[in-house]
A and B are shown apart, each in its own frame.
Chain A
Amino acid sequence: MRYLPLTDVDRSAMLGDIGAPSIEDLFRDVPVAARRARLFDLPLHAGELEVERHLSALAARNIAAGSVPSFLGAGAYRHHVPAAVDHLIQRSEFLTSYTPYQPEISQGTLQYLFEFQTQVATITGMDVANASMYDGSTACAEAVLMAGRVTKRRRIVLSGGLHPHYRDVVKTMTGSAGFTVDVAAADVFGEEDLAASIDKTTACVVVQYPSFFGHVRDYATLSAQCRDNGALLIVAVTEIVSLGALKPPGDMGADIVVAEGQSLGNGLNFGGPYLGLFTACTQYVRQMPGRLCGETVDADGKRGYVLTLSTREQHIRREKATSNICTNSGLCALAFCIHLTLLGGDGFGKLAAINHANAVMLADRLSGVKGVSVINRTFFNEFTVRLRSPAAPIVETLAARRILAGVPISRVYPERADLADLLLVAATEVTTTADMEALVGGLKEGV
């Protein structure tokens, strides 16, 4: 076995030193009935070549989004990741280290976490960011739980523009904690007004920016309404590149901003691992979930970094911790940090502008197709179109022709037959004019 250095000679020498007659003897605390003498009914070990063949054959049964015109978004976006990113994150010292519990030999990880936290806080317009969560949806649920701790209230309001999966994760994670969840109806047109659902019992209002259906709205008024009622405004961003072109949620008065950071540095990966971003105002920092990296000095007065404010965390506080999270998305945070460092502020703005311009061009082209209408007046790189018949079968037909046309709304709102004709379409910097023409051509024939 190529991964096991011990030889049979080593093993018997070691058993000799231990003074154990056999390996079996070391397992003597295991109840006899549970000791399996025979091998399990699974394949035997295999060499690299065989394993590679098996996995490659499975991979070949999928259509890679990058190999065809693809317009899928809905919380996961295909972007170009600079070559340096994947090279750097595979350096042994980043890839194969543990959580930086011993700061003297983990300054590499700690310094990039400090840089990452600064980047995330900067683009969201918030005071502080943590060192990452599993994904945008769990970050969103943690934000709601945090709002419960801050306000000591248990009623939450979810916008109908929130990703339905985020809605479900929030409901699941808050369900047993005694929250009541008011979910607004699907906000297809971006016109919802939540003012009437906010009162003095509301812990928080969760909105998405841009919304699930793509609308871009200014939440400054909503933020004031929340403040008047002592509720927190939580803004969830599922496409982080949008913040290169849009007003930061912090500037609109958000109290907590959570986001999916996958778009920067990270591939689609069929939905994971992704990168949950979590930011808040300084006044709430001690209620935040997850790890925080902070600056300090060493015994010689030299600048260095450590994990800090750990008295919020499970390993110190146990059942009183702000969250149960331990392992997070460290390496995805590194990929994000490197990508954003390569972009810089100007590059990030330009990337966002290209995304938006491509989406505008796509929207204009699709509006020209008979039977297709664009619903959005505002959007960033994703918008909703109405087709003349249910979107799901059309998407299937186009997939058979190797065009990934977008996400049918019915995939996430199966209970809403009235939304079956809607299709969510995204364009990013990787979308070419030829891709757009392919979709236009496909829809012309298909709708």
Chain B
Amino acid sequence: MAMSRDGRPTIPRNSSVAGMPAPTFTGHRGLQLEEPLIFEQGQPGRSGVDLPDPPKVEHRMGTSVRTRPIELPGLAEPQVVRHFVRLSQKNYSIDANLYPLGSCTMKHNPRLNEKMARLPGFGDIHPLQPITTVQGALALIDEVAHWLKTLSGMPAVAMSPGAGAHGELCGLMAIRAAHVARGDARRRVLVPDSAHGTNPATAALCNYEVDGVPANKRGRIDLAALKAKLGGDVAAIMLTNPNTCGLFEDQILEVADAIHGVGGFFYCDGANFNALVGRVRPGDLGIDTMHINLHKTFSTPHGGGGPGAGPVVFSAPLAPFAPLPYVVHGPDGFALKEHDGGQAFGRLKAFHGQMGMFVRALAYMRSHGADGLRQVAEDAVLAANYILAGMRGVIDPTYPGPCMHEVMFDDSSFKSSGVTTLDIAKALIDEGFHPMTIYFPLIVHGAMLIEPTETESKESLDLFIGALRALITRAKARDSAGFQAAPRFAPVRRLDETRAARQPVLRWSPPQPKQAAE
């Protein structure tokens, strides 16, 4: 998910909120507890751990021993626990309510997954233990790989990428290596204008020239424009499917034929795999390589920004170029290929991948099974279309349905009243909902991309539809002043992002001592 420049809130406009109660003595407001920084709470002599005195030894650290104190505050455990609990209470979460961030697949995170990842046999094994002592871990990686290969219909998978963007890098590097191997180094990568920012950023990181492809009126890639851009110097196209407007690229087979026709490869951004899992195989769509965000489709928690995991599946022509390390079946069980990878393009991460995420993903896969995963895709698509239908009479989707797992609206119906997409988002906060993804993709003005996922009940979807209907109706009724005050019920009100960027304060510093009065 992303926010674009035009979506960036600037300086908050209106700071008076009618009917707000007088400030309290403490600054707290009921369950909303104000919380200073840890640096403002420390006291010398306090600590949250009891450590024994170090054994007395003559140190062997040479000349670079630390001599100045470590300026970090001391807090006791109860204070630390209270601090982080109070902070947590200022966060929205999928555990609390629907989280309709388009492109982010905020589904329920099963707690069984957490429990499994914490088994000492997974959580407490070292990446460089002798291979004989980690056979279960390698078997687990191999099993996750098997599920991913089966679900994608692709013959190979690289497990090491740390997240989706890292997976994009993995895919493009394999493509580059494949071209170089046949003495056919190429220069350009085609990226639709609707692509997520990581796609062009990744192509640039691989030293490719990024060439944009426009969308057609139906929100899909413009096939004629694409064909016009094709040539012998095109290494790949990076296409998201379902795309970032929530639509299936219905000419995808033609796209695949066209790119293959000039000797290029088809990279698919698999961030939206949730719509297809268990039902449609990317391998049947002419795709050569695709990353799969385990932290989207396979429910590993987002953790406020990460960690994720971004395994990448490969077609047969790209498979030999997959990076090190990878699990192989040896004569005495599983082995790890860490060196001499033949045509492997290199190494992407210090160790073997996001094992903690693999365990969670496998718990999720096994819980759902082939039947449950298929149901996941169906329910996800059903829920998004239900929201599309639920908004009838109030707002039309940007592109006619059916949509896939997410539905796109825009600001065309209320723009003239002075209300913005950002205002709608902030008003949703007051309704108790996390906003949808806004101002992404860039090709749609005032975009609102809604992805409910399959883990919402009908009742929950109905409530969201009701709230959104009410807000859009109000927006069309020109209540722009009311919108600008939103959010009114969040722990803080709109924040001054312009100031944050103009005078960056990126760390706490001790308060300057006050000038002594003359």
Contact = CB atoms under 8 A, between A and B. Distances in A.
A25 B385 CA distance: 11
Nearest to B12: A299
27 contacts: A40-B373, A51-B366, A55-B140, A62-B129, A75-B350, A76-B127, A94-B304, A104-B493, A107-B91, A117-B507, A118-B507, A138-B166, A172-B345, A176-B176, A243-B66, A269-B122, A297-B499, A314-B198, A315-B440, A341-B75, A344-B72, A345-B71, A348-B72, A350-B53, A357-B55, A363-B60, A380-B61
Given A75-B350, A252-B64, A274-B350, A361 B369 contact: no
Contacts of A301: 15
A3 B108 contact: yes
Most buried by A among B114, B305, B338: B305
Contact of B372 (A45, A86, A247, A296): A45
B130 A395 contact: yes
B302 interface: yes
B61 A95 contact: no
Interface string A315-328: 11111110111111
B126 A404 contact: yes
Contact of A347 (B15, B47, B109): B47
A293 B506 contact: yes
B178 interface: no
A27 B15 CA distance: 47
B512 to A, nearest CB: 15
B77 interface: yes
Given A177-B206, A247-B66, 19 more contacts: A1-B375, A5-B457, A13-B458, A18-B401, A29-B404, A30-B250, A55-B140, A82-B48, A106-B92, A108-B88, A169-B348, A244-B66, A245-B66, A296-B500, A299-B15, A314-B2, A324-B201, A327-B305, A404-B126
Interface in A38-71: 39-48, 50-52, 54-67, 70
A129 B508 CA distance: 12
Contact of B150 (A41, A45, A99, A267): A41
A384 interface: no
Contacts of A1: 368, 372, 375
A117 B49 contact: no
Contact of A354 (B14, B52, B88, B435): B52
B197 A316 contact: yes
Given A45-B368, A177-B205, A314-B201, A396 B130 contact: yes
Contact of A105 (B59, B305, B491): B491
Nearest to A90: B114
Contacts of A285: 504, 506
A216 interface: yes
A296 B57 contact: no
B126 A29 contact: no
Interface string B485-501: 00100111111110111
Interface string B108-120: 1110101111111
Contact of A98 (B101, B137, B307, B376): B101
B124 interface: yes
Interface stretch (B32-40, B312-320, B470-478): B32-40
Contact of B382 (A6, A65, A112, A305): A6
B95 A4 contact: no
Given A35-B280, A103-B495, A109-B91, A361 B506 contact: no
Interface string A131-156: 11011111000000100000000000
Interface string B168-212: 110001001000000000000000000011101111111100100
A295 interface: yes
Given A344-B46, A347-B48, A98 B1 contact: yes
Most buried by B among A33, A51, A218: A51
Contacts of A56: 116, 119, 121
A218 B63 CA distance: 7
A187 B402 CA distance: 62
Contacts, number: 740
A343 interface: yes
A352 to B, nearest CB: 8
Interface stretch (A160-168, A200-208, A437-445): A160-168
A411 B293 CA distance: 30
Contacts of A295: 500, 505-506
A131 B307 CA distance: 12
A235 B253 CA distance: 48
A51 B35 CA distance: 41
Contact of B507 (A47, A61, A128): A128
B216 interface: no
A404 B304 contact: no
A399 B389 CA distance: 61
A269 B124 CA distance: 6
A329 interface: yes
A90 B140 CA distance: 23
Contacts of A40: 150-151, 278, 370, 373-374
Nearest to B334: A61
B73 interface: yes
Interface in A352-366: 353-354, 356-358, 360-361, 363
A373 interface: no
B84 A296 contact: no
Contacts of B77: 82, 84, 342
Chain B interface, >50% SS class: loop
Contacts of A340: 72
A245 B388 CA distance: 59
A144 to B, nearest CB: 12
B202 A324 contact: yes
Contacts of B90: 93, 105-108, 111
Contacts of B445: none
Given A27-B279, A105-B491, A92 B95 contact: yes
B75 A104 contact: no
Contacts of B457: 5-6, 10
Given A43-B369, A98-B106, A319-B210, A105 B127 contact: no
A389 B46 CA distance: 49
B80 A342 contact: yes
Given A134-B163, A216-B64, A377-B62, A344 B48 contact: yes
A361 B207 CA distance: 50
B357 to A, nearest CB: 6
Contacts of A52: 112, 115-116
A64 B120 contact: yes
A79 to B, nearest CB: 11
A6 to B, nearest CB: 5
Contact of B59 (A217, A356, A429): A356
Interface in A303-337: 304-306, 308-311, 313-321, 323-332, 334
Contacts of A122: 70-72, 507
Contacts of B487: 104-105
Given A42-B369, A172-B347, A128 B506 contact: yes
B136 interface: yes
A115 B38 CA distance: 7
B482 interface: no
Contacts of A48: 112, 367
A69 B80 CA distance: 32
